[in-house]
Amino acid sequence: MSDGKVKEYTPDQRVIKALSHPLRFRILVVLNQKVASPSEIADELGEPLGNVAYHTKILAENGAIEQVRTAPVRGALEHFYRAQTRPWFDDELSAQLPDSVRQALSSEIISYIWEDVVAASEAGGFDDAETHITRTHVDLDEDAYRELADLLNSVVNRALELHAEAGPRLAELSSEERERQTRRTALAIMHFDR
């Protein structure tokens, strides 16, 4: 039986710490796409290896990534990692971040979106008739604003479910068929005050 009290949301402080630095966020984006070592990540991001290694350690200590293997490389033992969490904040987790961190992460995300848009534009990625591009101004009160935010979060969650459902179907195909039938898409949603 409930005591009538509303349970307060308490985000995992380890997740906040793991993702509250822009470089850790960028590392996590890379590790959501592939298994990589700090050296490979440093090269890809154009960051000093020492910085990447330090922030990779913080991500691992906080459960955002895990080491999957080691390999000898040029006389040293290199560690390879993969992501355990997505580089994404729900509204409650985002509210726990300092404004400066939230702004820096938003800038990173917008930069990634822009890179995707430019690459898609150059490669004909907007040519399909079912490609969706809209820009809609709406005036909302607080209730409507919250409802729209929840709706957009549900769209992202369903997109990830569809991604997971497609994986086994694509895995059954030959590598040639898989390459031909895989639709590599990007879903970018922005809802912000204008």
Question: For residue 168, what pLDDT band results from cuts at 50, 70 and 90?
Answer: confident
DSSP count for the chain of H helices, then E strands: 8, 2
CA distance 41 to 118: 22
Beta-bridge partner residues of 69: 80
pLDDT at 88: 67
pLDDT at 68: 94
CATH number of the CATH domain containing 19: 1.10.10.10
Please give the residue range of the domain that contains residue 41: 13-133
pLDDT tens-digit series, residues 171-182: 898 989 988 888
Question: What does pTM read for this prediction?
Answer: 0.65
- Strands 65-73 and 76-83, sheet pairing: antiparallel
> How many CA atoms does the CB half-sphere of 157 hold within 13 Å?
8
CA distance 8 to 19: 22
Express as a percent the part of the chain with pLDDT over 90: 32
pLDDT tens-digit series, residues 37-63: 999 999 999 999 999 999 999 999 988
**How many structural domains does the chain have?**
1
Residue 52 is assigned to a structural domain of this protein: yes
Residue 112 is assigned to a structural domain of this protein: yes
